[in-house]
Structure 1
Amino acid sequence: MQESVAGSQYTSFRLAEHLDVAGIAASIGSVGDAYDNALMESTIGLYETELIKPRRPWKSLSQVELATAEWVDWYNHRRLHGEIGHVPPAEYEANHYKESTKPQVTTTT
């Protein structure tokens, strides 16, 4: 029997409460909606292609954990992403918040 992505562990009240306290909005799409997981599947594919497959065989779990932490840091702070203007995600996000928090000029009459 195949377990649904929208299974009880994702829809439980307790999880919803934890997400709410952390300020995280839950994202649970409809069953069979291919777009729900597209971003995550794309990222996992890059992770496998750029890190896991080229360095195998892995000798230990701790080796994979350390390499994963290094890859995530590189992915977010140094890897250039064409979809966001050939800048790393951390730079793109910083620029977004810098632009969105600029004081707005208002006029009074």
Structure 2
Amino acid sequence: MADEGLVPSIGSIGDAFDNATAETVMGLFKNEAVARDYPFRTGPLAAKADVDDVVVEWVHSYNNARLHSTLGYRTPVEFEELYYDEIAGTLPDVAASKLAA
């Protein structure tokens, strides 16, 4: 990290401020993808391939279908597309009005 001029971010002992986002996402994953009664589970997680399938399906859904309140109730993919359209100056009027919402 030092070679790139970066400073590590480490919280004090006993707090999770620098890990809060990761812990939130992992909590969602455990409750949604791994829980026995969740739709991503079609059976027991008996083999590594079963776990791989659940992870891939959940991550795809999280990024492409799940609406995130902090992104203006857009998916991460949609938000990123709008962001890059905005900074590139190629944003159509309809998309620009969505960003303002």
Please indicate, yes or no, whether the TM-score normalized by the shorter chain is above 0.5. yes
TM-score by length of 1: 0.64
Partner deviation per Cα, 1:58-102 (whole Å, 9 max, x = no partner): 111210111101110110011111121111111111111111221
Summarize the alignment of residues 9-28 of structure 1 with structure 2, pairs less than 5 Å apart.
16=1, 27-28=8-9
Structure 2 gaps of 5+ residues are 91-101
- The number of equivalent residue pairs is 83
Corresponding letter in the other structure for 2:12: V
* Preserved contact between residue 11 and residue 17 of structure 2 (Cα < 8 Å): no
Structure 1 gaps of 5+ residues are 1-15, 104-109
**Cα RMSD, aligned residues only:** 2.5
Q: Which residue of 2 aligns with 1:94?
A: 81
TM-score by length of 2: 0.68
Q: Distance in 2 between matches of 1:98 and 1:50?
A: 32
- For the residue of structure 2 that corresponds to 1:46, the secondary structure is helix
Q: Which residue of 1 aligns with 2:97?
A: none
More helix by share: 2
Partner deviation per Cα, 1:31-63 (whole Å, 9 max, x = no partner): 334210000000000001111013374111210
Q: Which residue of 2 aligns with 1:51?
A: 33
Q: Which residue of 2 aligns with 1:80?
A: 67
- For the residue of structure 1 that corresponds to 2:73, the secondary structure is coil
Moved over 2 A (4+): 25-34, 54-57
Q: 1:70 to 1:38 in 2, by over 3 A?
A: same
* Preserved contact between residue 33 and residue 58 of structure 2 (Cα < 8 Å): yes
Corresponding letter in the other structure for 2:81: A
- For the residue of structure 2 that corresponds to 1:37, the secondary structure is helix
